[in-house]
Structure 1
Amino acid sequence: MAPFPLNSKSHNHSRSNSLPSKPHPITVECNESLARFWACDASFSCSLLSCKLRDLQDLHDCIEKLVHLPLTQEVLFQERQEKWVDELLDGSLGFLDVCTAAKDALLHTKECTRELQSILRRRRGGEVEPTTEVKKFLTSRKVVRKAILKALGNMRSLASKCNVSLTNKDHQTGALFGLLKDIEVVTLSIFESLLKFISGSTQAKQSSWSLVSKLRHSQRVACIEADENEFAKVDAALQSFVFAMTSKSDSIKNLQSQLEKMESCIQELEEGLECLFRRLIKIRVTLLNILNH
């Protein structure tokens, strides 16, 4: 996609028929960030997902700078009655909803994890039998998966709008639209991979999971391997305990170990999501201010 041709020396609000000699540095920064996302690996671990969330924060920081530029604001204001601008606003709200769903899933899982850890520690003194609590945790994981499936269902409408193209628009408007749509694609892709990771899914289910991969042939949606997924490991440890696949003592030791690792992973992902959430809010507020000016 051609870079959005913003002139770093332009500060007026009149539309120019001549194109700037070179793209604005912020546009170059955005496109370089996008290039790193398209080249990302096809599998994710907790640490890599955390890294991608930080990269996504940087990318949306870049977008916030972009929408503050006078020429960007001019384009958005003049196009404020167009469908693509409405979809841009819908997308910004959709990102906040998906981010909230991921945060809620992590928070719910963390609370259940700490409760079960407390039960397992008390068991050492023979105070409690943890089987009931382990089954409750398994039930809570089903609740989380159900919420994630709902969030992914909501993402389908967002993903479908990323395929829309503009016609009969000038170069500047088309380039801005294309850049923003590319950023929507990578944002949805990371959210999809994150939600799948939290669900503990260890298989790439093309029909039900891959919402974004069809949008860009070069984009590869993550396939999470069980040995890289702390959530999947906990699910397996829970099943092992309930169905007595190993001795109770070994099952509990394994479960405690996996719970600790998952809790650490949750903390890492929560921090990244919270920072990203704040950036997404700032961008939406900026867009609303521009369009309602």
Structure 2
Amino acid sequence: MAYHLRSASTPSRPRSNKTEVEQQLQSLSTTISSPSATIDTMCDGLRRLGDIYSCIEKMMCTPSSQVSLCETLQRAAVEAELGRSLVVLDLCNGMRDSFMELKLTVQELLLALRRGEGVSSQVKAYVRLVNKVQKQFKKISKETTSDKNGSRVVMLMAEAREITMSLLESTSSILSKQVEMPKWSLASKTFHRTKVVCQEEQLQALEHSIGDLESGVELLYRRLIQNRVSLLNILSSYIP
């Protein structure tokens, strides 16, 4: 049922939350752009992003923020951000599928290695999958450019979205380096047993890490959906 939102003075706590979210975004941006970032870094980053989106949702649902988001000048920026969020949702959905495929490919690589079979075909399949993920970012980079004209809440949403894109792109870059053709192109039977054992351990760790990434993207996807639903409800329920 539609209802009138009443104006309210901005309380001190939401302003503090904004500062806190800004600090979290800045910290996360620095972490994922570090040359020493690993898959574990990205898994942790996905969890942190989920928490950030939850904080942004709480901020947007305060009475004062709802009024601000529905103002005529702000509404256009909000609707534009909603459109960009669809692109990121599609990307997250595609990444979930890609992580699932990558995990299966790593499992096949493990089996071939244990059987002493050639692994070049599995490695090529892995590389193809990672390249497919990286191409997705080139395709959508122009579709998610922000206009920087929204309210502070909208700006935080845009910053979170941009960091989400950066994190996922960095993840695909790191994954591409986990299995390299020169070291995996020979048949495993030509390796010493200790070398095979070492590679098995590396692949098992990679399989586990990809599973963590898959779970992290699933959590992030749900948070993005919830944010989008909350924002749509705010726009649809406000009567000027």
| TM-score normalized by the length of structure 2 | 0.81
Unaligned runs of 5+ in 1: 1-11, 124-128, 167-172, 201-231
- Structure 1 residue 31 and structure 2 residue 22: aligned? yes
User: Unaligned stretches of 5+ in structure 2?
Assistant: none
Q: CA deviation at 1:32?
A: 2.8
Q: Name the structure 1 match of 2:39.
A: 46
Q: Paired residue for 2:223?
A: 279
Residue number among 95, 114, 137 corresponding to 1:102 in the alignment? 95
Per-residue displacement from partner, 1:80-112 (whole Å, max 9, x unpaired)?
Answer: 885422321122212212212222221111111
2:81 paired residue number: 88
Question: For the Cα contact (< 8 Å) 2:188–2:196, is it kept in 1?
Answer: no
Scaled by the length of structure 1, the TM-score of the pair is 0.68
Question: Using the alignment, how far apart are the partners of 2:154 and 2:226 within structure 1?
Answer: 19
The verdict on how the C-alpha distance between 1:13 and 1:189 changes in structure 2, with shifts beyond 3 A counting, is same
* Alignment-derived partner of residue 185 in structure 2: 242
Deviation at 1:248, TM superposition (A): 2.8
Identity of aligned residues (%): 24
What's the RMSD between the two structures over aligned residues?
A: 2.9
Q: How does 1:1-293 map to 2 (within 5 A)?
A: 13-14=5-6, 20=10, 22=12, 24=14, 25-40=16-31, 42-43=34-35, 44-79=37-72, 82-121=75-114, 123=115, 130-131=117-118, 134-159=119-144, 161-162=145-146, 164-166=147-149, 174-198=151-175, 200=176, 232-233=177-178, 235-236=179-180, 238-243=181-186, 247-250=190-193, 252-293=196-237
Contact 2:103 2:207 (C-alpha < 8 Å) held by counterparts: yes
Larger RCO (CA under 8 A, 6+ residues apart):
2
For 1:245 and 1:145, how far apart are their aligned partners in 2?
Answer: 23
Aligned-partner SS, 2:192: helix
Distance 1:246 1:120 in 2: 8
Question: How many residues in Structure 1 have an aligned counterpart in Structure 2?
Answer: 230
More helix by share: 2
Q: Is the 8 A contact 1:67 1:73 kept in 2?
A: yes
**AA matched with 1:154:** K
